[in-house]
Structure 1
Amino acid sequence: METDIVLQLTTLGHPQRLAVFRLLVRRAPDAVPAGEIAAALGIKPSTLSSYLAALSRAGLVTQARAATSLRYAVDAEAVQAMAETLFLECCRGRPDLCLSQPDAQPGIAAATGAGKSRVLFICSGNSARSILAESILRAEAGDRFEVHSAGTRPRSELNPLALSLLEDEGHDISMLHAKNVDAFRGPDAPRFDFVFTVCDQAANEDCPAWTGQPISAHWGVPDPVRVTGAASERAAAFRRAYGALRSRIAAFAALPVDRLDRVSLQKAVDRIAGIDATADA
């Protein structure tokens, strides 16, 4: 085990290899095409190939072929073993030695102090998928969660097809407006218990860590805004996105959040990411 962790830490000691690893962690459990990784990080394909080979040799990344492309995913068990080794052996199992802010880890629903867990959904534009997710969770379990959404792009506006779909499904859209994630950062910003990315582009971005270390997961859904063609085809794409998000959010809303510890909750939201993202409404 000592040899393994030395190799792993040496491999992650290279800034760009670490960037690749962090992107794959953010996209877990997705397997990401090499071309998408290269484009997201601005790395030449030949250079990326050597980085991925090194991460694979260290046992941190897995590789699988899908049609004509190679896809890469973080090896969750290997990463967990590495973290446990660092925590139990190097830090002697003491969070006060390993964490710079051991008191900045509130339990679930502790962020609000009012019995509600705060949830943030993020996509690149905050115009469609994250707005759909915000509305669905508010309808599914609004009495248990304080729900927000935001985008990573500087400017955005709500997509009219998303708003039309939400109205058709009986959601109140009067409170919805497009926001940037910066609205939820800073000393006066709310502290979240859960942060979910619902688009690959947002998950690929290396954003600063959230205060309070919320539980996070990537629930990527294909972008309905990108679908072109007849009005019926575009509407169907939005309905598919709505259906996929509703399936995952219904599973999330059914979790006994107040009775599960952080490790169990993290495993649960990771499993929810595996629910079929092509489901119809």
Structure 2
Amino acid sequence: MEKEAQTLLSPLADQLATLGHSQRLALFRLMVRRYPDQVPAGELGASLGVKPSTLSSYLASLQRAGLITQTRHGTSLLYTAELDAVRRMFDGLLGDCCANRPDLCFPMPQGAMTVANRHYNVLFICTGNSARSIFAETLLRDLGGERFIAYSAGTTPHSELNPFAVKVLKDKGHDVSPLYSKNVAEFTGPDAPQLDFVFTVCNTAANEVCPPWEGQPVSGHWGMPDPVKATGTDAEKALAFQQAYGALRRRIEAFVALPVESLDRIALQTAIDDIAKNHKDFA
């Protein structure tokens, strides 16, 4: 019996040992924040400041432990967190080490999000809070009706909204008067709104380590190219903003259609990840 238990726990022990290294843990945390993206090795290394040879070793260790997967796209190697393996790892901890006592080892609430007939506070984060997160805030405010209260913020916000973004919103008939750039720090602390959902809409913001949010909101990563970095003529730049607006509109239309009140947290998290996977186009 003891031998069987050791055999069952061997993969779990390997995974915990792999994550017991601080830089491998930092790499894995970054990839979970970027899920379901397939992230190039070079971007991972640049974000963490790790040499290519060292990064290769860390990635190989995480692969052997079954915590990430590798795919090839042309000459590039892309990496994704393997969340099914993570769930099995926690199941192993909960089932064996905690004797199936979720009250001891797994304090995250597992039921439906909350009672019906209330507002859900949603925060969209990007770096500058001048375009993508502003689009998302405006779209949810207009498409979500009274169910959602939308906010946006930046990790390093610009002092002004991008004029191309403002023009797109005006041309689409949105009210831009409530909009201004905000720092993500405004949404922490005792006076901040209690957040139900937090979305990153740019890769740079997702790569940054944020402090844990109060109340354990459901999170999602809906990364897309930054239209502010578009080059060329004004018409070409304007097209990049139109594409970002269209991509976010499709994602938010799918989000507001979710039966949030009746889904448990795991089902809701899966649905949000699926929105990211199924709306990759930016046309």
TM-score range, shorter chain: over 0.9
Q: 1:229 to 1:203 in 2, by over 3 A?
A: same
In structure 2, give the amino acid aligned to 1:56.
Q
Structure 2 counterparts to residues 3-18 of structure 1, below 5 A: 3-18=10-25
CA contact 2:111–2:265 (8 Å) conserved in 1: no
AA aligned opposite 2:74: A
Letter in structure 2 aligned against 1:151: G
- Determine the structure 2 residue equivalent to 1:73: 80
Kept after mapping to 2: 8 A contact 1:241/1:277: no
Deviation at 1:276, TM superposition (A): 3.0
Task: Give the drift of 1:103.
Answer: 8.4
Q: Do 1:119 and 1:194's aligned partners in 2 also have CA atoms closer than 8 Å?
A: yes
Deviations along 1:252-278, one digit per CA (max 9) or x if unpaired, are 010011111111111100100112333
Structure 2 equivalent of residue 85 of structure 1: 92
Deviation readout 1:83-137 (Å, 9 max, x if unpaired): 11112222223233125xx488896356xx9701111100011110000001011
What amino acid sits opposite 2:63 in the alignment?
S
Judged with a 3 Å threshold, the aligned counterparts in structure 2 of structure 1 residues 125 and 64 are, in CA distance, closer, same or farther, namely same
Task: Give SS of 1:120's match.
Answer: strand
Deviations 1:211-244 (A, max 9, x none): 1111111011111011110011000000100111
Checking the alignment, whether the CA contact within 8 Å between 2:67 and 2:82 is kept in structure 1 is yes
Q: Is the 8 A contact 1:155 1:180 kept in 2?
A: no
What is the aligned partner in structure 1 of residue 30 from structure 2?
A: 23
Structure-1 separation of matches of 2:108 and 2:83: 26
Q: Is the 8 A contact 1:118 1:145 kept in 2?
A: yes
**1:195 match:** 198
CA distance in 1, matches of 2:138, 2:226: 17
**1:7-156 aligned within 5 A:** 7-99=14-106, 102=107, 108-109=113-114, 115-153=118-156, 155-156=158-159
Aligned-partner SS, 2:146: coil
Displacement of 1:168 in angstroms is 0.5
Counterpart-to-counterpart distance in 1, 2:37 and 2:128: 21
Q: Find the counterpart in structure 2 of residue 169 from structure 1.
A: 172
Distance 1:220 1:57, change over 3 A: same
Based on CA coordinates, which of the two structures has the bigger radius of gyration? 2
Unaligned 5+ segments in structure 2 are 1-7
TM-score normalized with structure 2 length: 0.93
* Residue 168 to residue 114, structure 1, CA distance change in 2 (3 Å): same
Kindly state the Cα deviation for residue 143 of structure 1 after the two structures are TM-superposed: 1.1
CA RMSD after TM alignment: 1.8
Does residue 181 in structure 1 map to residue 184 in structure 2? Answer: yes
Q: Which amino acid aligns with 1:27?
A: R
1:273 equivalenced with 2:276 (yes/no): yes
Q: Is the 8 A contact 1:125 1:153 kept in 2?
A: yes
Please list the CA deviations of residues 4-38 of structure 1 after superposition, one character each: whole Å capped at 9, or x if unmatched.
Answer: 00000000000000000001000011110000001
1:62 match: secondary structure: strand
Residue 158 and residue 107 in structure 1: after superposition, are their counterparts in 2 closer, same or farther (change >3 A)? farther
Task: State the secondary structure of the residue aligned to 2:278.
Answer: coil
SS in 1 for 2:178: coil
Determine if the alignment matches structure 1 residue 208 to structure 2 residue 211: yes
The aligned amino acid for 2:78 is: R
Q: What is aligned with 1:224?
A: 227
Letter in 2 for 1:258: E
The residue aligned with 1:157 is 160
Structure 1 range deviating more: 232-241 or 80-89? 80-89
> Measured at CA, do residues 255 and 154 of structure 1 come closer, stay the same or move farther in structure 2, by a change above 3 Å?
closer
- Give the distance between the partners of 1:5 and 1:105, measured in 2 at CA: 23
Query: 1:178-222: CA deviations, max 9, x gaps?
Result: 001100001221111111100000111111111111111101111
* 1:240 has 2:265 as partner: no
How high is the sequence identity, in percent, across the aligned residues?
Answer: 58
Q: TM-score normalised to the size of structure 1?
A: 0.94
